[in-house]
Chains A and B, each alone.
Chain A
Amino acid sequence: MTLAPDTFAFVADLVRRRSAIQLEPGKEYLVESRLLPLARTAGLLDVDSYVRGIRAAPHPTTLEAVVEALTTNETSWFRDALPFRALVDHVVPEMLTATTSGMFAPQLRIWSAACSSGQEPYSIAMALADVLAPSRMKITATDLSDQMLERGRSGRYSQLEINRGLPAPMLVKHFTRAGADWEIAQPLRSAVTFQRHNLLDAPPVGGPFDVVFLRNVLIYFDLATKRDVLRRVQQAMRPGGFLLLGAAETTIGVDDGWERVSVGRSSVYRLAPRRAA
């Protein structure tokens, strides 16, 4: 079955306006497979009639559900490992020595932007727990998707999710079994606050941030949106703060407000002093 061109155009436009995610022509299969479960739940047989219904009577929650269905929430614990090492080995020591200049006190404030189901903010909390008391970290975790935020808040993960990148010593230290799932320990949960936030909007509360993780989300945006989002992130950060991006992402050629710092085999980005507010 093929999707009607105007169905695709409507969905692509909606998703672009609401999330900045670009659905290029050729992604019809993605729209079809992601929306079919929603159509079925609504008692309809195909995506075209589902979307026709939405267009005839748009309802905010339905539109949101469509946008959410088209986000890619793929994530894992300590994804790519290196950024978490850079955080502990480089960023935190830098920040600790800089306390005299008034930053990083009394808590290290971290923003995990586009956090998906929570593996990223909890990995940050676990990495920091080795060097910092949970009471000294304040992690703000945000995403566009309510469904993902709900999963993050629950702190419960399936066996298959737990297998993905979580070092066994961290598992036994910070998790307990809950039926067929695993549940993260309370001290770490209370270090993380989940909040709905769209990267196209003004920064979330909880800042200004010392460190921002903005990983594996810029890849879905066009250049102008990337630039825009990076500017907004800058405004939410403290002078001298650090930005950590995904493996396929960089500020270079996008926004020149950042200084790239090599840490081991990876890079972090430091807010260039010129732009410091």
Chain B
Amino acid sequence: MSMQVDTTAFAGTDPVYVIAEEVFSSMIDGEPGFLRHWDGDPPPIVDAMHAWVDVHGATNGRVLLSTERSTADDLARALLQMGPTEPVSDEDFADALGEVANIVGGNVKALVPDPGVLTLPQVTHERPHTDPEALIYELPLDWRGSLVVIGLWRLL
């Protein structure tokens, strides 16, 4: 069965954007105003990092968050309340990015009519395999001028 997100229930507001906005405003920035929709066509991400969780059950899907390594560093620093230039250990870095994917993923899961279970987050440099046909939805975001992409993928 495919992962279907019932977008009709949202009265014009994009629920995935709402979720992202809540995650960023409460846990990353501490206040709203730093996350918006990406203006125009997003450029390809160079030196990308990917964090994702899968939803398994009646529906199978993947919530994938992709961003440049340096943006991911900034995200981790913000989440860990570190200074802007403080070095982030590899462990902290992967953990922080994974937890962002986990939080976004769990909330996205709640949008699905018949949700299943969430896998533990994974973080890699290499983009995990997704079938190009299986893209359900993609949301390019502008966080303090940097690109962060949230994608929902069907898992076949």
In the complex, is A directly touching B at CB under 8 Å?
yes
- A98 to nearest B CB, angstroms? 44
Chain A neighbourhood of B111, CB < 8 A: 179-180
Cβ of A262 under 8 Å from chain B: no
Beyond A160-B22, A179-B15, A180-B19, 18 extra complex contacts between A and B, CB < 8 Å: A158-B18, A158-B22, A159-B19, A159-B22, A159-B107, A160-B25, A177-B110, A178-B9, A179-B6, A179-B9, A179-B10, A179-B13, A180-B10, A180-B13, A180-B16, A180-B22, A180-B111, A181-B18
A60 to B73, CA, bound (A): 48
A164-197 CB contact bits vs B (8 Å, 1 = yes)? 0000000000000111110000000000000000
**In chain B, what residue has the closest Cβ to A178?**
B9
- B86 to nearest A CB, angstroms? 27
Chain B neighbourhood of A179, CB < 8 A: 6, 9-10, 13, 15, 18, 111
Chain B neighbourhood of A159, CB < 8 A: 19, 22, 107
Interface residues on A, range: under 10
Residues of B within 8 A of A (CB): 6, 9-10, 13, 15-16, 18-19, 22, 25-26, 107, 110-111
- B139 to nearest A CB, angstroms? 13
**In chain A, what residue has the closest Cβ to B11?**
A179
A160 to B19, CA, bound (A): 10
A177 to B106, CA, bound (A): 14
A179 to B9, CA, bound (A): 6
Chain B neighbourhood of A181, CB < 8 A: 18
Task: Across the A-B interface, give the 10 residue pairs with the lowest CB-CB distance, nearest first.
Answer: A180-B15, A179-B10, A180-B18, A179-B15, A179-B9, A160-B22, A180-B19, A160-B26, A159-B22, A178-B9
Residues of A within 8 A of B (CB): 158-160, 177-181
- B110 to nearest A CB, angstroms? 6
A160 to B20, CA, bound (A): 12
Task: Jot down 25 A-B pairs with beta carbons below 8 A, ordered by A.
Answer: A158-B18, A158-B22, A159-B19, A159-B22, A159-B107, A160-B22, A160-B26, A177-B110, A178-B9, A179-B6, A179-B9, A179-B10, A179-B15, A179-B18, A179-B111, A180-B10, A180-B13, A180-B15, A180-B18, A180-B19, A180-B22, A180-B107, A180-B110, A180-B111, A181-B18
A260 to B105, CA, bound (A): 50
Chain A neighbourhood of B15, CB < 8 A: 179-180
- A35 to nearest B CB, angstroms? 15
A179 to B108, CA, bound (A): 9
**In chain B, what residue has the closest Cβ to A163?**
B26
Chain A neighbourhood of B26, CB < 8 A: 160
A177 to B16, CA, bound (A): 14
- A111 to nearest B CB, angstroms? 30
Chain A neighbourhood of B25, CB < 8 A: 160
A180 to B107, CA, bound (A): 7
Chain A neighbourhood of B18, CB < 8 A: 158, 179-181
Chain B neighbourhood of A158, CB < 8 A: 18, 22
A147 to B111, CA, bound (A): 27
- A168 to nearest B CB, angstroms? 15
A177 to B107, CA, bound (A): 11
